[in-house]
Amino acid sequence: MTWAIVPAAGRGSRFGGAVPKQYLVLAGRPVIEHSLRAVLDHPGVDGVMVALAQDDAAWPGWREVGGKPVLTCVGGGERADSVLAALHALPASIDDDQWVLVHDAARPCLHRDDLARLIGEGCRDAVGALLAAPVRDTLKRADADAKCLGTEPREALWRALTPQLFRRGGLTRALSSAHRNGVRVTDEAMAMERLGLKPRLVEGRDDNLKITTPADLALAEFVLSNRKDPSA
Ligand SMILES: Nc1ccn([C@@H]2O[C@H](COP(=O)(O)OP(=O)(O)OP(=O)(O)O)[C@@H](O)[C@H]2O)c(=O)n1
Ligand SMILES: C[C@](O)(CO)[C@H](O)COP(=O)(O)O
């Protein structure tokens, strides 16, 4: 029913350290393995294309995970470039109408219930969908000196998460258009929005965090070690 794309070509500059964060050990496995297993555990996901950095020496070389095929390609300078490279590298058997699930390698705590709901609701939407979490904090806009300029209304604000689910052809066209026009898009939904499309937000768990700094890795360790069923 669908293939996954896992962008994993980042260098983790905000995290720091010699080893890119997607290869650090979390609850006994590399961060990326948790993210791959989280998407491949769904019966509707047939395989995964992983976008790697050029000459990625840390990639373990898996050719399958959980009995499903793991293919790799070389990513690009920005996350969107890596996703676009992976879209082009997908097997030709995956036609333009087929759904593709894009999930950050740096989001190891994806819960199976969130994925099931995203796929269930997203596949019924004409455009596609993404997991997102409603903003629950008061949001401030600041000046260059970190002085409050005001408070932003948060009623309609959500934090975009991953996975994000779009059809291969439409997503390829949207990301290609953004690239051609020099527009930096930070997620797949933004590329679709640019074309006037309205992806559906599917509420996801707050603990589907992205590993960006060392504090996030400690939090992810807590999240996974406190899940009743670690593969949940
Ligand atoms: N050129 C890039 C940049 C990022 N990513 C991937 O996109 C996901 C989210 O990106 P981010 O958290 O920003 O990772 P990094 O770019 O590695 O982090 P930083 O911005 O701190 O360098 C990660 O799985 C990362 O590996 C990618 O595939 N290709
Ligand atoms: C795709 C994403 O995880 C959605 O929140 C986010 O945009 C990635 O941003 P990053 O700066 O590339 O980590």
Residue of 165, 42, 37 whose CA lies nearest to 101: 165
Residues in the chain, how many? Answer: 232
Q: 79, 82, 84, 217: which to mutate for ligand 1, most atoms within 8 A of CB?
A: 79
Q: Count the domains in the chain.
A: 1
Model pLDDT for residues 51-88, shown as the tens digit of each residue: 999 999 999 999 999 999 999 999 999 999 999 999 99
Who contacts 141 (Cβ-Cβ below 8 Å, separation ≥6)?
Answer: 148, 149, 150, 151, 152
Q: Residue 49 domain-assigned?
A: yes
Q: Residue 23 domain-assigned?
A: yes
Q: Residue 231 domain-assigned?
A: no
Q: Residue 33 domain-assigned?
A: yes
Please report the pLDDT score of residue 1 as a whole number: 67
Model pLDDT for residues 155-197, shown as the tens digit of each residue: 999 999 999 999 999 999 999 999 999 999 999 999 999 999 9
Q: Residue 105 domain-assigned?
A: yes
- Ligand 2 neighbour 187 (Cβ under 6 A): yes
Q: Counting runs of H as helices and runs of E as strands, what totals does the chain give?
A: 6, 12
Residue type, 167: R
Please report the pLDDT score of residue 230 as a whole number: 55
Whole-model pTM over 0.80: yes
Containing 54, the helix (H) or strand (E) segment is none
Q: How far apart are CA 101 and CA 163, in angstroms?
A: 6
Average pLDDT of every residue of the chain = 96
Q: What is the domain-level CATH number for residue 58?
A: 3.90.550.10
Q: Residue 232 domain-assigned?
A: no
Q: Residue 203 domain-assigned?
A: yes
Q: Is the pLDDT of residue 229 over 80?
A: no
Question: In angstroms, what is the span from residue 86 Cα to ligand 1's centroid?
Answer: 14
ipTM above 0.95, yes or no: yes
Whether the upstream peptide bond of residue 30 has omega within 30° of 0, thus cis, is no
Q: Residue 230 domain-assigned?
A: no
Which residues are 6's β-sheet partners? 50
By DSSP bridging, strand 99-102 and strand 2-8 are parallel
In which domain, by residue range, is 63 found? 2-225
Tell me which residue has its CA closest to atom 14 in ligand 1. Answer: 10
